[in-house]
Amino acid sequence: MSTTITLKNGVKMPFIGLGTWQVKDKEEGINAVKCAIEAGYKAIDTAVVYQNEEAVGEGIKASGIDRSELFVTTKVYNDKQGYEETHQSFKESLERLQLDYVDLYLIHWPITDKYHDTWRAMEEIYTSGKAKAIGISNFHPQHIEDLMTTANIVPMVNQIELHPNQNQQALVAYCHERDIAVTAYSPLGHGNLLDHPVIKEIGETHHKSVAQVILRWDIQNGITAVPKSVNKDRIAANIDVFDFELSEEEMAQLNALHTGERVNKNPDIFIIEK
Ligand code: A2P
């Protein structure tokens, strides 16, 4: 089983990356990134709005890993969208990360009156080589269709809330049909799913935890995931998912757990609220 998927432009993206949403404390962030890299993570996911790009940069530096081995993702936030603003925000992200390129740059949320201009800047950033891949986050099919009326480059990734309670089956199918890779954020339901009896039982069969079963389910569905943890053991456990396989029946059981529950905002509503 490969630990990476290949994006439509040939770039390889690790299935499991360290999520950093809500990691606000700087030392905690640095430590989490160091622990992740020690545990074998090659991918780290951050965003301007998480306010931890500096910690991620310092953690990477402190780990001593060769930059070329890593896959770093960051995102332009809503208040920084627009053509000039995106170029500026990207420059500032690189500075905070102490990097001269990122592996993946995403539009964080579909701000409908801005994302066309944002994407134009992102295409230029991609062409310049300072982002090895570009994509979107929280985009629904209607946002993608609308973006494509002006885009020259089809997004390579869509990062969305995805976990057994919100399996996003239709959106994943839509993306995969267009060769847009999907990344699951809040893959553990923000921690809410960790006592789920069905997932627990499946885990017991494989001597794996609920978190590991969920992450393995993502991988077998062709989905990359960015579980967040600041705990050394949990960070290590979350990438220890390549030595077992869920059966077709177990996959079907997990695919059937959808309740529609979300832990973050519905992008359709978020646009109105901004
Ligand atoms: P912690 O950082 O203390 O490990 P999600 O990625 O879905 O948003 O979930 C993140 C939440 O799940 C955090 O509260 C995190 O806490 C917790 N978590 C992450 N990995 C595990 C794990 N393997 N077992 C239990 N809890 C976990």
> Cα(128)–Cα(86) distance, rounded to whole angstroms?
14
> Cα(179)–Cα(112) distance, rounded to whole angstroms?
23
38-87 residue pLDDT tens: 999 999 999 999 999 999 999 999 999 999 999 999 999 999 999 999 99
| All structural domains of the chain with their residue ranges | 4-258
5-40 residue pLDDT tens: 999 999 999 999 999 999 999 999 999 999 999 999
- The residue type of 181 is A
Query: Catalytic residues, which ones?
Result: 50
Name the superfamily (CATH) of residues 4-258.
Answer: NADP-dependent oxidoreductase domain (3.20.20.100)
Of all residues in the chain, the percent with pLDDT exceeding 90 is 97
- Ligand 1 centroid–CA 14 distance in Å is 19
Q: pLDDT at position 273, please?
A: 56
Mean pLDDT, rounded, for 256-268: 95
Give the number of the atom of ligand 1 that is nearest the alpha carbon of residue 163: 7
- Ligand 1 centroid–CA 266 distance in Å is 21
Q: pLDDT at position 269, please?
A: 84
Q: pLDDT at position 134, please?
A: 98
- Ligand 1 centroid–CA 196 distance in Å is 14
Residues 90/123, Cβ–Cβ less than 8 Å: no
Asked if residue 255 has pLDDT above 70, the reply is yes
Residues 236/108, Cβ–Cβ less than 8 Å: no
- Whole-structure pTM value: 0.98
Residues with CB under 6 A from ligand 1: 19, 186-191, 194, 209, 211, 227-231, 234, 237-238
User: What is the residue-averaged pLDDT of the chain?
Assistant: 97
Q: Which residues, including other chains, have CB under 8 Å from residue 254's CB and lie 6 or more apart? A: 164, 198, 199, 202, 213, 214, 217, 246
- The token pair at 123 is 């295409």
Nearest CA to ligand 1 atom 26: 191
Nearest CA to ligand 1 atom 2: 229
- Ligand 1 centroid–CA 87 distance in Å is 33
Closest among 138, 167, 130 to 155, alpha carbons compared: 138
pLDDT band at 206 (very low <50, low <70, confident <90, very high): very high
Mean pLDDT, rounded, for 82-94: 98
- How many CB atoms within 10 Å of residue 71? 21
Nearest CA to ligand 1 atom 11: 191
> Cα(89)–Cα(226) distance, rounded to whole angstroms?
23
> Cα(12)–Cα(190) distance, rounded to whole angstroms?
26
Give the number of the atom of ligand 1 that is nearest the alpha carbon of residue 193: 7
> Cα(104)–Cα(149) distance, rounded to whole angstroms?
22
